[in-house]
Amino acid sequence: MRPPRLARACLRRLLPASHRDLVLQDLDDEFARHIAPSRSRLGARWWYWRQAVGSWPHAFRLRHPRVAVADSRPAHRRQHLRAVVADARFAWRLYLGRPALTAAATATLAVGIAVTTAALSVVHAVLLRPLPYEEPGALVHVGEVNTDDTRGIHGPAGGNLSWPDFTDYRRAQRALVDLVGYSGGSRTLTTSAGTPDRVPMAEVTAGFFDLLGVRPQTGRLFTSDDNEPGAPPVVLLSDGAWRRRFGGDPAIVGGTIGVNGRPATVIGVLPASFAFPLRGQAELWLPIRPSSSQLERRYFHWLNVIGRLRPDVPIEAARADLDRIAAGFAAIDPTYHAATASAVLPLTDVIVGDVRPVLLLVLGAAALVLVVACANVAGLVVAERAARARELAVRGALGATRGRLVTQMLVESLVLSAPGLLLGLGAGAGLVSLVVASLPAARRAALPHLDSVTLHPVVVATIVVVSVGAALLVGLVPALRRPATGLATGLRVAGASRRGAQLSPSLVAAQVALSVVLLASAGVVGQSVWRLLAVSPGFEVDGLFTARANLGGARYATPEARLEFHRSLTTRLAALTGVSGVATISQLPLTGAGNSGTFLVESVPDAPERSTRIRSVSTNYFEVMGVPVLAGRGFSDRDVAGSPRVLVVNETFARMFFDGRPLDQRVAFPFFTDRPFWQIVGVVGDEQLRDLDMAPLPIAYFAYPQTPDGEFGLVVRTPGDPAALTGPARAVLAELDPALPLFSPQTLDEILSASLGVLRRRVVLTLLALFAVAAIVVSIVGLQGLVAQTVSERTREIAVRVSLGARPAQVVGSVLRRGLAPAAVGAVAGLALYLLVARALSGLVFDVSPVDPATLAAVVVVMVGVAALACVAPARRAATISPTEAIKGE
């Protein structure tokens, strides 16, 4: 990896020649040999930036060593300081006397700084702050992949491990300090206080918390004894659960709560700083006690695994080490582990890998708004300086040095930008909590530090440095130009304002260009959201209420009992007023791929294993959901326990495994004891299990009466408002069994909105649209100011032209040209710039090209149209100029 070029170049410029090579070579050496190999790409670059930026003031000291001239300094410095204070006072009074200018600059800067602060706060919290564990950089996530899996079903993080795989890795590996496993789900929690509730939980193997370096805030953590079968049941509480459900009562430690109807002892409370985003919402932490089938079946992949690298062991070595062990699985289990390899990734990548590009994109967009704001303020300052040209020239004539004048202007721009900076920081903090609060709780909990994101000192410092730098730059542009204007021209006001007017059109064009980039991005992402929502998930979304139920406890131990409960629950729900249909499915659509199973085909016994997603549905599921039956039949009431075992598959399954002709084929799944064959009797349309932007997966549907599981999702169809069914549904369940909670009640529409594919784009779209509007408003105000200034400067000239016979239309045309020229140049430059950066949107676009010509054309039309509107008022003013004003001007 190369050091960040900008940081290096800046430091290079600042360092004196005597130290330039020394410092840079040292820095590059350290970066290449120690920093880059041991940190993430972003972390390493962050390190370099901090070193470089932190060295700036010292580079200045190296240029101007103070030791030799120590004697004469203090007096000088005091004098200098006094002058600066005087400048600041002067500037303060100056800007108080020009409220319009001050308000415009403050508002503009505040907007730019607010959005940048908000974006940077999130980026800092999620991407830059280390995970809250001991040496988080050494933590890795361990998954498994099939090397012959060309479809990449599992993604880069790989799939789960089976218990035998896990124990084999753990025993034979040499690259890691240890490997630990975790799994998740939900449990019914009963407390002495209230009704039972279904809460998210996590189960962990012994040593899980030790590996992370987490210590409890009260009580103790698990020991390996707690994982033994038959050990007394124990539970750890998350800090949130402890405060919310038990009022933060320390006496709960040692007490008993009900977990799935059985008493368990609370042995401790995890610290408030602990968060595990991969099971972000877990309230209960339990020791894993694998079932006998989990212990024995190597093909049963259910365990998530993380590990810690030994010191000085690179991640590649760990990968090679685990691959060596995985290669041995082929001999033990040729059917399902013929081509197994490990997937070892830094834990951070698994947690924030997919949001990283999105967050950086948003930060980039926010920075563009800030640049637009700065350009706008620069325009204001240039105009203001032009108006004060005479004053500055007089001061120069009276003996103020060039350095003195430059200092004064820098102080002035600092004073002008200070209120905007403060306002912007405050508004940024508000904005970030607003954005975070708008995310669904589950998504918030899945990202590190997001729930506690505040104005971090590092963020504030960065923003202050950037803003002060920008203010100095803004002040410097006219300051450097101004003294260059000779004394004579400076004293002639007209000459001076021409120079100012030359700078402004390019500043306005730059603002328009960046606005176009933002607007085009928002347009393309907006198109994507629109097209994504138009994609059918394979069923009718409207009017569906969903919830989940779990039949825990001894009462539902037999299939007959579960079936009986399932029947009475669905019958009673169907009898509610306004309900037109009730069905169940083992995992609701759009909530994830869920359970999968490998299977063998009777007619091709020698074929390699195939894998499909599996669902267990009530026999009327397809009718209630509106999933079409394409061939054969759906389930019927005759498909019950004891009748022939039947299977319905989806279109993708039929195409993938049977060339579209699966009917009457028989397949066997090894997870059923005796491995019976199931006959495929029907093909239904594809139903989306994951996100709308993903390819459909193969699904095999079982009939619930033939596979009566303990947990299922309910779908209730109603022509009315589905959200209104929560109360009645809960009442029905409580009537049947008060110990069973109804959990995750939500409408299918809500599930859809919270799905990552939609949510990610919608959040980005909202932000980009906001940024684009802010940028456009700012640049249009700038444009209008420019045109108005031109009109007032050219009043005499226009009056002369009118008196010589120019028609109003000609006058208006000439003014419009003045305004539209920079807008048009900006729009074209913005398009070019957008084409350069459009690649950054590639992860967000759906079914539309990032350089969609129609969208880009619309963006240009909108931009030029808005620019034309901005010119209307000044143009009308120009049209009313009468010839007499030519004389008044003198």
Q: Name the H helices within 388-456.
A: 389-397, 402-438, 441-445
Q: Tell whether residue 57 is a contact of another protein (CB under 8 A).
A: yes
Answer whether 609's CB lies under 8 Å from 670's CB: no
Please choose, out of 23-31, 134-142, 387-395, 446-454, the segment that lies near another protein by the rule CB under 8 A: 23-31
Q: Which position among 7, 44, 46, 55 is part of the footprint of another protein (CB under 8 A)?
A: 55
Q: Which position among 3, 8, 11, 241 is part of the footprint of another protein (CB under 8 A)?
A: 11
Q: What is the separation of C-alpha 133 from the centre of its chain, rounded to a whole number of angstroms? A: 22
Question: Given the DSSP bridges, would you call strands 581-585 and 711-717 parallel, antiparallel or unpaired?
Answer: antiparallel
Q: Considering beta carbons, is residue 56 or 672 the nearer one to another protein?
A: 56
Q: Considering beta carbons, is residue 50 or 93 the nearer one to another protein?
A: 50
Please choose, out of 49-57, 82-90, 197-205, 473-481, the segment that lies near another protein by the rule CB under 8 A: 49-57
Q: Shortest approach of another protein to residue 56 CB, angstroms?
A: 7
Q: Shortest approach of another protein to residue 819 CB, angstroms?
A: 47
Q: Considering beta carbons, is residue 21 or 228 the nearer one to another protein?
A: 21
Q: Which position among 40, 51, 612, 707 is part of the footprint of another protein (CB under 8 A)?
A: 51
β strands within 524-579, DSSP E: 544-550
847 in the Ramachandran plot: left (φ > 0), alpha (ψ -120 to 50) or beta? Answer: left
Paired strand residues for 832: none
Answer whether 412's CB lies under 8 Å from 93's CB: no
Q: Tell whether residue 35 is a contact of another protein (CB under 8 A).
A: no
Question: Which residue from 730, 734, 719, 679 is spatially nearest to 702, judged by alpha carbons?
Answer: 679
Q: Which position among 59, 212, 513, 627 is part of the footprint of another protein (CB under 8 A)?
A: 59
Using CB under 8 A as the binding rule, the residues of this chain from 809 to 838 that contact another protein are: none
Residue 835 burial by Cβ neighbours in a 10 Å radius (0-12, 13-18, 19+): middle
Look at residue 736 and give its three-state secondary structure: helix
Q: Name the H helices within 644-747.
A: 651-658, 726-736
Q: How far apart are CA 18 and CA 62, in angstroms?
A: 9
Q: Which position among 1, 9, 56, 883 is part of the footprint of another protein (CB under 8 A)?
A: 56
- Look-up of token digits 């304002």: 497
Q: Tell whether residue 26 is a contact of another protein (CB under 8 A).
A: yes
Calculate helix-pair angle for 389-397, 493-534, nearest 10 degrees: 130
Please choose, out of 22-30, 483-491, 774-782, 880-888, the segment that lies near another protein by the rule CB under 8 A: 22-30
Q: Shortest approach of another protein to residue 11 CB, angstroms?
A: 8
Q: How far apart are CA 325 and CA 172, in angstroms?
A: 7
Q: CA of 671: how far to CAs of 283, 359, 595, 599, 816, in Å?
A: 30, 42, 12, 9, 76
Q: Considering beta carbons, is residue 13 or 151 the nearer one to another protein?
A: 13
Q: CA of 890: how far to CAs of 314, 389, 515, 753, in Å?
A: 80, 20, 40, 66
Binding mask 586-625 for another protein (x = CB under 8 A): ----------------------------------------
Q: How far apart are CA 427 and CA 335, in angstroms?
A: 60
Q: Tell whether residue 178 is a contact of another protein (CB under 8 A).
A: no
Look at residue 355 and give its three-state secondary structure: coil
Q: Tell whether residue 21 is a contact of another protein (CB under 8 A).
A: yes
Q: Tell whether residue 19 is a contact of another protein (CB under 8 A).
A: yes
Q: How far apart are CA 254 and CA 234, in angstroms?
A: 10
Report residue 56 as tokens: 């700036």
Q: Shortest approach of another protein to residue 588 CB, angstroms?
A: 49
Q: Tell whether residue 465 is a contact of another protein (CB under 8 A).
A: no
Q: Tell whether residue 30 is a contact of another protein (CB under 8 A).
A: yes
Answer whether 268's CB lies under 8 Å from 219's CB: yes
Q: Considering beta carbons, is residue 23 or 284 the nearer one to another protein?
A: 23
Q: Tell whether residue 8 is a contact of another protein (CB under 8 A).
A: no
Q: Shortest approach of another protein to residue 421 CB, angstroms?
A: 25
Please choose, out of 62-70, 88-96, 508-516, 857-865, the segment that lies near another protein by the rule CB under 8 A: 62-70
Please choose, out of 27-35, 351-359, 805-813, 882-890, the segment that lies near another protein by the rule CB under 8 A: 27-35
Report residue 755 as tokens: 């799905």
Residues 6+ apart with CB under 8 A from 156: 343, 345, 349, 353
Q: Shortest approach of another protein to residue 466 CB, angstroms?
A: 18
C-alpha Rg value of the chain to the nearest Å? 34
Q: Tell whether residue 61 is a contact of another protein (CB under 8 A).
A: yes
Q: Considering beta carbons, is residue 21 or 560 the nearer one to another protein?
A: 21
Q: Tell whether residue 77 is a contact of another protein (CB under 8 A).
A: no
Q: Tell whether residue 58 is a contact of another protein (CB under 8 A).
A: yes
Q: Tell whether residue 130 is a contact of another protein (CB under 8 A).
A: no
Q: Tell whether residue 37 is a contact of another protein (CB under 8 A).
A: no
Q: Can you give the binding site for another protein, defined by CB under 8 A? A: 11, 15, 19, 21-23, 25-27, 29-30, 34, 50-51, 54-59, 61-62, 65-68
